[in-house]
Amino acid sequence: MIKVKQLNVRGLDYNFSYLVFDEVSRDAAIIDPCGDVSVIRKALEDAKPLSPKYILITHGHHDHVSGLKDVLSFFDAAVAAHPECAAGHSINLADRQQLSFGGIFIEVLYAPGHSPDGVLYRMSDDSALFTGDTLFIDCCGYCLPRAMFNTMRNVIFPLAGSNIVYSGHDYGAVPFRNLGEEKRLNPYLATDDFDKFREELKKL
């Protein structure tokens, strides 16, 4: 079983970091190390023993990688990000790349719109989707409209509703929600009409 710990690291703007681990193999990944790094350190302590495998970056905006250097000092793992991400990383991710993790894999989904280096991470058992600043609960990130609309319709909407959406900031009515509900409730994801989508963006 894959476990996800949503970490309220606060950061610049109610940021979330995440600890993901496989209960059997103990493979572990940290997503977007940022904010109050002591919260991440505590979560790692609580979940011991763990085998550090990846630090996964959703995009290179400072508030998502502000803790990278500190976290590397106690979580010695390969850092993975899109090639255009300015944060130091050793794995250059490609769209639909599969990263082995425990008995499953983590699928990389290229998701431009909020930033040109945006990626999503999907657990291959369709239990979790990490969306950074692309998809928030109830809204989406500031974006180039056409690129973001394409990401919403062509990358995110087709995914299984069972995935829990774990985003980069605590902006919604709830901290996480499954994608099936989000497809229904989130106006930026629900619409297949670009003009409606663009209208919604004015509310951000």
Selected range binding Fe ion among 19-27, 69-77, 131-139, 149-157, rule: CB under 5 A = 131-139
How many of the other CB atoms lie within 10 Å of CB of 114?
Answer: 25
Toward Fe ion, which CB reaches closer, 61 or 177?
A: 61
Selected range binding Fe ion among 46-54, 94-102, 126-134, 194-202, rule: CB under 5 A = 126-134
| Cβ–Cβ < 8 Å for 192, 44 | no
Q: Is the peptide bond before 52 cis (omega within 30 degrees of 0)?
A: no
- Interface residue with Fe ion among 22, 32, 133, 200 (CB under 5 A) is 133
How many whole angstroms separate alpha carbon 68 and alpha carbon 9?
13
- Which DSSP symbol is given to 24? T
- Position 86: which residue type? A
- Interface residue with Fe ion among 15, 18, 40, 61 (CB under 5 A) is 61
Toward Fe ion, which CB reaches closer, 28 or 81?
A: 81
Smallest distance, Å, CB 168 to Fe ion? 7
Q: Which residues contact 137 (CB under 8 A, 6 or more apart)?
A: 165, 167, 171, 172, 173, 174, 175, 176, 177, 182, 186
How many whole angstroms separate alpha carbon 163 and alpha carbon 191?
19
Toward Fe ion, which CB reaches closer, 57 or 179?
A: 57
Residue 89 engages Fe ion in binding (rule: CB under 5 A):
no
Selected range binding Fe ion among 68-76, 118-126, 127-135, 195-203, rule: CB under 5 A = 127-135
Residue 177 engages Fe ion in binding (rule: CB under 5 A):
no
Q: Where does this chain bind Fe ion (CB under 5 A)?
A: 61, 133
